[in-house]
Structure 1
């Protein structure tokens, strides 16, 4: 009973205490609204409630958000409505509200006017200060500075300036832009709008667009506008927060932190009012930190090259790994195109054609050799007379000769040798094809690794800038020395250089890939991400390969099987086998084969077209037939050829021994390569998992260290160490999968086949052979 009484008494006391608190109804005046403005107002209400705390009760209602839709008459009516109603504090935002309330002579209720004004506009008007019940809180943004950045980025001659139609009629902004245009040497084209379509319908004849207004546009509308500008290759700049840049606008000079600063200042003004303190001196002009922010992907899509000189002072939004390209390759496409297009590989194909011609030449020894000859002879008459008809003074003759090889051991050996050399050249091509495919895969993964590196270096540069900001705040608060600020500035310079190098290294990687694929070096290409069990890797389970190798009981038989497969597939071994075949045939040729005769047929047909002059008749008046033929069989048997046969035989024997030694060495090397590749894959398997853990712990450690540094609990060295650890962890984690897949492809190169280029049937055959190998070895 006693406890019940205490609870009732405590509850009553709390209710009595709350009843004693003053309640303040707050109303908002807006030029326009949308879902995002509503969300920002909700955030502002939370900020006001938190700052006021227990001092009073602040009340908000969705009905107390009056909108004028850029109409001055409605703006005046809305303000009068609040003056006559139960609203205690009026907070006004927007160009029309500002202009309307600025002209008033008195403010019966506390009125807070806040907004974003350009420094150029502030030079045209005089802000009211120390007015009863009136507080003006503005943050400044310089149109001139924005346009200077836009001109530096894109060098436009005609800039479209987007502004609300009501803004143009209620302020001297048009003359301001005309003056800036004259100073910066560009022509402004004003694009006033009341609805979104007014902007999209007036984008012709401009080189760039400056979104000086448009604060109330929805995110979907900004994205649509940005996409349209990108399609038209029009650079864009916004005077609004970086949300516009996140939605695709090229750049802004608006600092993200300024909104929080804005809201906090308004909340403090409300706190002053509810506590009954004087409002004099609360009006303020907030100087926000400005930072050029660029959407990396938008710049890439419109083909705008970014100056390296801007990187140190610029924040980038977007993913540098997303590259605009005329063609995007996956790994299989790279491998297949390398086989078709690589120029070095094409020279090997032509070598095969040359050796094929050598085979045809060797076979041509058994083709008939037919020749025709015609001649006209004139002989001295004194000699012709003594010839008794055999050598007339004038004679024209012709003949057709035939030589046909019937049998030649040397010709037969040459045919066999040239066939073996042709087949060896084919295997040389197969080996070079494997090397080219692997080189293409290396170039592909190198590009992926460097894309990840670029993205991480960009993040690291942003992280350094954030840490520099902490150091500057600590320095201003007296928690750290100037040396910390200088150290982070030095670190930022180094990170900037690393960023520049990362950009250039990625470009070099694409140059190399273009070289391998026989593309023009400057071709815009990109490579798709490589994920295990996704995309081109879906049909081949690389994780299953890892399972075999990770289990020690399966690894040994699997490695033996892989060695056997490599021996069977290795084109380098086949090259040596074909060369051995050629040298052994040479041994037989210069050995017992040298005693085999060469047999050939010979024939000739002769025809005498004419004879005349002295000695044209035979003795006794006989006549010679006009035509006649001869036919013969020629058999040649070598007996002794200056000992060259023995020497050639000895040379062939030495070459055979040499090739056998090379073959044994190559087999040993293949076995070593397979085992090395297996160990590398095992290393990469563990690296995939451990790198993820490393990255997560390094990130958490960095966040804790940043918090501790901000409070002065740790020094700059510890923060830099934590940042560098996180950088290395990110690089290791991002590259782990790429390195695993590349190492797997290296193993496949040693196997003499690439599974990604095989059919499903060929992969099934591989698995069947492994099962058969396992069973036979277990038996």
Structure 2
């Protein structure tokens, strides 16, 4: 009975205490609103509720969010409505609300005025302090600092300054920007707006745009504006939070933590009111964290080069892997274009043409050799007289000669040799084509790897900046020494250098790809992501290749089959076979073939056009015919040629032996390469899975270590180790698939064919040959 009585007393006390808890209704005054502002107000209400906690009950309602649309009369009316209504705490935001509430002499209800004002607007403006029921929480920004950054980034001559129409009529911003233009060396063009079209229709004749207002623009409106600015190649800067930069505006000087800091201070002000603490004791200025934040992709799209000196102090938003390009290649396009455009490959094609001409020259030995000759002779008359008509004083003659090779063992051998050398050159070209395709694929994947590396280095730089911030906070709180701060500053410098190097390495990779594809070196190109079973890899299942190799029962027969395929396809072996054919023919030529005769047919037709002068008549009145011909058959049989035939035969025998040794070496090398590539693919298969686990584990470990370091539970060395582990894990994970695909392509190079360039029928034929090979070996 006693226990029941105690329980009843306890419950009654709890109910009594709850009944005594105060309730506060909070109303918001706004200059304007949109869906994003409504979301932020929801977040602010949650923050206030969390901070007030059990001290009181705070009520919010969507109806208690009223706007003035930049109209001072409506703003005064709205404030009076709250003073005369059921609102207990008034929270006002915006320059118009700030202005009309500031002019009031007394404040019957607790009023919190918050907002963001430039230091230039605050000059000569005395903030109210120690006023009952009045708290002003102002975050300061600087038009000057923003414009100095914009000028450093883009060097504009005329800057469009965007402000809400209400701002221009309720403040002295015109004067401020005129003065800043004179001091900083630019011409301001004030663009007032009530709707987005007022901005987009006034972008002519400006070199850059400064979004000094626009806080109430919707996200989709900011994206539309940013896209238009990018299209016009106009650099932009915003005085608003970092969301604008995420939506495509080039840069801001806001830190991502500013909004959280702002909300927390407002919530603390409300907490002071509900606990009857004097709110005027709170600070009136809130120094927001500042840090230059740049949208990397926007800068790239407008062609704005970023100074490396800014990297250490700049936060980057966007994905460095998204590169602006006039053309984006997939792997198949790179491989195909390399075949057509590569200059080194073109020289090999010309070598084929040269050897083909040599072959044509060798066959031309059996074509007739026809020549025509005309001559005019003058002979001393005293000598002509003694010639009895054979050498007249003046004579004009002509003849046509014909030489036709009928049979020559040397010519036949040369034809065979030149044909073999031509075919060998074709196989050398095929080998070089395979090498060029693989080099292009290497350049393609190298570009992907370096793009991923740039993105990860950028994230790591941001992580170091965040860890430096923790170290500075620990130092200020006395939880860590200054050495931690200095160490992270050193890390920041190193990471900045790594970031710069990552940018340059990525650019170099595109230079290399342009070189292979015979593009101008500075051509803006990009490469598509390479993912298993997606894009160009969808039609060929590289995972199935991995499945064959990962299964020990299938691996051995599959590797044997691959070696056989490589032997059959290898252009290096085919080239050696053709060279071997040429040397063997030389060996036969200088052997028994040297005793075969050379047979040629010769003929000549002669014609005398004229004769005159002394000695032009034959003795006895005889007449020589004006034309006549001769025909002959020439047979040549070599007997002894300074022993050159024997020496040439011996040279051919040595060359034959040398080529056979080279063939054996190439075969052995092919077998080794295939087995090495198979083992490397197996390594990469396991690496894909393990690297993902490594990355997830390293990320979780880093987050735990950061939390522990912030509370002083671990030292800086452990945090740095965790960060470096995470960096390596990210790099390994990002590159795992690329390395696997590249290793697979290397195996294909050794096979002498690339599956991505084959037709579907050719791939099916490859599978059929494998199944047939397996069946034969099982039998």
Query: TM-score, normalized by length of structure 1?
Result: 0.99
Equivalent residue of 1:634, what SS? strand
Structure 1: distance between partners of 2:276 and 2:644: 121
Following TM superposition, by how much is the alpha carbon of 1:283 offset from its aligned partner in structure 2, in angstroms?
4.2
Following TM superposition, by how much is the alpha carbon of 1:277 offset from its aligned partner in structure 2, in angstroms?
2.0
Structure 2: distance between partners of 1:326 and 1:280: 59
Which residue is equivalent to 2:140? 140
- For 1:491-506, what aligned pairs fall within 5 Å after superposition? 491-506=491-506
Over aligned residue pairs, what C-alpha RMSD do you find?
1.2
Following TM superposition, by how much is the alpha carbon of 1:280 offset from its aligned partner in structure 2, in angstroms?
2.8
Following TM superposition, by how much is the alpha carbon of 1:268 offset from its aligned partner in structure 2, in angstroms?
1.4
Shifted more, 639-648 versus 556-565: the winner is 639-648
Which residue is equivalent to 2:159? 159
Which residue is equivalent to 1:718? 718
Which residue is equivalent to 1:749? 749
Which residue is equivalent to 1:182? 182
Which residue is equivalent to 1:320? 320
Which residue is equivalent to 2:426? 426
Following TM superposition, by how much is the alpha carbon of 1:386 offset from its aligned partner in structure 2, in angstroms?
1.7
Following TM superposition, by how much is the alpha carbon of 1:8 offset from its aligned partner in structure 2, in angstroms?
6.2
Kindly indicate whether residue 347 of structure 2 is the aligned counterpart of residue 347 of structure 1.
yes
Gaps of 5+ in 2: none
Structure 2: distance between partners of 1:218 and 1:688: 42
Which residue is equivalent to 2:542? 542
Structure 2: distance between partners of 1:468 and 1:487: 9
Gaps of 5+ in 1: none
Question: For each residue in 1:382-416, what CA deviation from the matched residue of structure 2 results, as whole angstroms up to 9, or x when unmatched?
Answer: 22222211111111111111111111111000000
Shifted more, 496-505 versus 610-619: the winner is 610-619
Residue 386 and residue 64 in structure 1: after superposition, are their counterparts in 2 closer, same or farther (change >3 A)? same
- For 1:493-642, what aligned pairs fall within 5 Å after superposition? 493-642=493-642
- For 1:20-169, what aligned pairs fall within 5 Å after superposition? 20-169=20-169
Equivalent residue of 2:370, what SS? strand
Question: For each residue in 1:722-748, what CA deviation from the matched residue of structure 2 results, as whole angstroms up to 9, or x when unmatched?
Answer: 000000000000000000000110000
Which residue is equivalent to 2:675? 675
Shifted more, 376-385 versus 249-258: the winner is 376-385
Following TM superposition, by how much is the alpha carbon of 1:11 offset from its aligned partner in structure 2, in angstroms?
4.7
Structure 2: distance between partners of 1:86 and 1:384: 146
Following TM superposition, by how much is the alpha carbon of 1:5 offset from its aligned partner in structure 2, in angstroms?
7.5
Shifted more, 207-216 versus 459-468: the winner is 207-216
Structure 2: distance between partners of 1:362 and 1:4: 121
Kindly indicate whether residue 433 of structure 2 is the aligned counterpart of residue 451 of structure 1.
no
Structure 2: distance between partners of 1:598 and 1:525: 62
Question: For each residue in 1:630-671, what CA deviation from the matched residue of structure 2 results, as whole angstroms up to 9, or x when unmatched?
Answer: 111111111111111111111111110111011111101110
Following TM superposition, by how much is the alpha carbon of 1:272 offset from its aligned partner in structure 2, in angstroms?
1.5
- For 1:622-771, what aligned pairs fall within 5 Å after superposition? 622-771=622-771
Structure 1: distance between partners of 2:391 and 2:4: 156
Equivalent residue of 2:548, what SS? helix
Equivalent residue of 1:117, what SS? strand
Structure 2: distance between partners of 1:640 and 1:275: 125
Following TM superposition, by how much is the alpha carbon of 1:279 offset from its aligned partner in structure 2, in angstroms?
2.6
Structure 1: distance between partners of 2:2 and 2:579: 109
Structure 2: distance between partners of 1:152 and 1:355: 61
Structure 1: distance between partners of 2:746 and 2:84: 81
Structure 1: distance between partners of 2:454 and 2:745: 24
Which residue is equivalent to 2:439? 439
Following TM superposition, by how much is the alpha carbon of 1:7 offset from its aligned partner in structure 2, in angstroms?
6.8
Structure 2: distance between partners of 1:361 and 1:571: 25
Equivalent residue of 2:217, what SS? coil
Following TM superposition, by how much is the alpha carbon of 1:38 offset from its aligned partner in structure 2, in angstroms?
1.2
Equivalent residue of 2:377, what SS? strand
Following TM superposition, by how much is the alpha carbon of 1:14 offset from its aligned partner in structure 2, in angstroms?
3.0
Question: For each residue in 1:418-456, what CA deviation from the matched residue of structure 2 results, as whole angstroms up to 9, or x when unmatched?
Answer: 000000000010000000000000000000000000000
Following TM superposition, by how much is the alpha carbon of 1:124 offset from its aligned partner in structure 2, in angstroms?
3.3
Structure 2: distance between partners of 1:684 and 1:602: 72
Structure 1: distance between partners of 2:744 and 2:771: 21
Structure 2: distance between partners of 1:733 and 1:364: 62
Which residue is equivalent to 2:778? 778
Structure 2: distance between partners of 1:451 and 1:445: 10
Equivalent residue of 1:205, what SS? coil
Following TM superposition, by how much is the alpha carbon of 1:278 offset from its aligned partner in structure 2, in angstroms?
2.0
Structure 2: distance between partners of 1:518 and 1:8: 90
Following TM superposition, by how much is the alpha carbon of 1:6 offset from its aligned partner in structure 2, in angstroms?
7.1
Structure 2: distance between partners of 1:403 and 1:7: 133
Following TM superposition, by how much is the alpha carbon of 1:286 offset from its aligned partner in structure 2, in angstroms?
0.8
Kindly indicate whether residue 255 of structure 2 is the aligned counterpart of residue 255 of structure 1.
yes
Following TM superposition, by how much is the alpha carbon of 1:617 offset from its aligned partner in structure 2, in angstroms?
1.1
Following TM superposition, by how much is the alpha carbon of 1:103 offset from its aligned partner in structure 2, in angstroms?
0.8
Which residue is equivalent to 1:370? 370
Question: For each residue in 1:711-767, what CA deviation from the matched residue of structure 2 results, as whole angstroms up to 9, or x when unmatched?
Answer: 000000000000000000000000000000001100000000000011111111111
Which residue is equivalent to 2:385? 385
Number of residues paired by the alignment?
Answer: 779
Equivalent residue of 2:55, what SS? coil
Shifted more, 273-282 versus 617-626: the winner is 273-282
Structure 2: distance between partners of 1:343 and 1:2: 101
Structure 1: distance between partners of 2:491 and 2:437: 40
Structure 2: distance between partners of 1:578 and 1:127: 94
Question: For each residue in 1:515-544, what CA deviation from the matched residue of structure 2 results, as whole angstroms up to 9, or x when unmatched?
Answer: 000000010010000000100000000001
Structure 1: distance between partners of 2:223 and 2:109: 40
Shifted more, 8-17 versus 381-390: the winner is 8-17
Following TM superposition, by how much is the alpha carbon of 1:4 offset from its aligned partner in structure 2, in angstroms?
8.1
Question: For each residue in 1:171-227, what CA deviation from the matched residue of structure 2 results, as whole angstroms up to 9, or x when unmatched?
Answer: 111111111111001111111111222111111111111111111111111111111
Following TM superposition, by how much is the alpha carbon of 1:769 offset from its aligned partner in structure 2, in angstroms?
0.6
Following TM superposition, by how much is the alpha carbon of 1:12 offset from its aligned partner in structure 2, in angstroms?
4.1
Question: For each residue in 1:658-707, what CA deviation from the matched residue of structure 2 results, as whole angstroms up to 9, or x when unmatched?
Answer: 11011111101110111111111111111111111110100000000000
Equivalent residue of 1:631, what SS? strand
